[in-house]
Amino acid sequence: MDIDEAISGRRSVREYTAQPVDERAIRRLIDAAVRAPNAVNQQPWTFTVVRDPGVLDRISHDAKAHMLATMPPSPNADHFRSLLNDPNFQIFYRAPVLILISALAQGPWIIEDCALAAQNLMLAAHAAGLGTCWIGFAQSFLNTSDGKKALGVPDAWAPVAPIIVGHPKAAPPPVARKEPVVRWVG
Ligand SMILES: Cc1cc2nc3c(=O)[nH]c(=O)nc-3n(C[C@H](O)[C@H](O)[C@H](O)COP(=O)(O)O)c2cc1C
C-alpha cells in the first residue's frame, strides 16, 4: 500500500472480530511507531500492550465513571454523558488489544512525540489490514494514580495515546473532511 492510500484509507474502527492480533504484528506496529520524528531525538515513548479483556473491561468501567465525574462542560457533553451512562458501551469497543503510548517522564514535547508515534502506528496498522482507534475517553482516567496502577504503569510515566487494535469487522465508511482553512503568505 502506498502512503496516499494508507493516509486516505485509514478510518477509526469501532467494530472488531474476535480474532487475536499476533505478537509479531504488534511488534511491527511498535517498530513503525518509533520511526516517528521526535523532539531532540529523546524517543520518550513507551508501549504498554494490553490483551487481557478483563483488564480492559475494568478500565472501561472506571474510565467512564471518572469521565462522568470530571467532564468539563462542552458542546458534546450531553452526547458523551448518554454514551457513558450506557452500561453496554465499552470504551474500547471490545477490541482484542490496547496499546497505550506513554512518555517516560514529563517534558515540553511529549504529547507531540507520542502523538506522532501513534499516527505512525495507526497508518502501519491500516497498511497491514488492521483497524485502530484512539480512545480519548480513556485518557483522563489513565493519567490518575489508580489508572496507572490498573496497568502497572509507573507513576512517573505520562499516558498520552490509548490506541485499540484489532481485525475490523467491516471497512467503516469514509468520514467527510471540512475544507481546510489555508492562508498563503508569499
Ligand atoms: C485525540 C483523539 C481522541 C479520540 N477519542 C475517541 C474516543 O474516545 N472514542 C472514539 O470512538 N473515537 C475517538 N477518536 C476517533 C475520532 O472520533 C476520529 O478520528 C474522527 O471522528 C475522524 O474519523 P476517522 O479517524 O475515521 O478519520 C479520537 C481521536 C483522537 C485523535
Q: How far apart are CA 30 and CA 61, in angstroms?
A: 27
What is the pLDDT, as a whole number, of residue 51? 98
Q: Which residues contact 34 (CB under 8 A, 6 or more apart)?
A: 43, 45, 117
Ligand 1 center from residue 135 Cα (angstroms): 7
What is the pLDDT, as a whole number, of residue 163? 99
User: CB under 6 Å to ligand 1: residues?
Assistant: 11-12, 14, 133-137, 175
Against a cut of 0.95, is the pTM above it?
yes
Atom of ligand 1 nearest to the CA of 137: 8
Query: For 29-76, how does the pLDDT look when each residue is reduced to its tens digit (9 = 90+)?
Result: 999 999 999 999 999 999 999 999 999 999 999 999 999 999 989 999
The residue contributing the CA closest to ligand 1 atom 27 is 11
What is the pLDDT, as a whole number, of residue 182? 98
Q: Are 9 and 129 in contact (CB under 8 A)?
A: no
Atom of ligand 1 nearest to the CA of 14: 11
Query: For 70-104, how does the pLDDT look when each residue is reduced to its tens digit (9 = 90+)?
Result: 998 999 999 999 999 999 999 999 999 999 999 99
Ligand 1 center from residue 185 Cα (angstroms): 31
Query: For 131-159, how does the pLDDT look when each residue is reduced to its tens digit (9 = 90+)?
Result: 999 999 999 999 999 999 999 999 999 99
- If phi over 0 gives left and psi between -120 and 50 gives alpha, with beta otherwise, what is residue 17? beta
Confidence of residue 111 (pLDDT cuts 50, 70, 90): very high
Ligand 1 center from residue 136 Cα (angstroms): 7
Q: How far apart are CA 91 and CA 110, in angstroms?
A: 24
Q: How far apart are CA 94 and CA 182, in angstroms?
A: 39
Ligand 1 center from residue 36 Cα (angstroms): 20
What is the pLDDT, as a whole number, of residue 168? 98
Confidence of residue 123 (pLDDT cuts 50, 70, 90): very high
Q: How far apart are CA 42 and CA 16, in angstroms?
A: 34
Q: How far apart are CA 134 and CA 98, in angstroms?
A: 10
Work out the average pLDDT over 8-24: 97
What is the pLDDT, as a whole number, of residue 69? 96
What is the pLDDT, as a whole number, of residue 61? 98
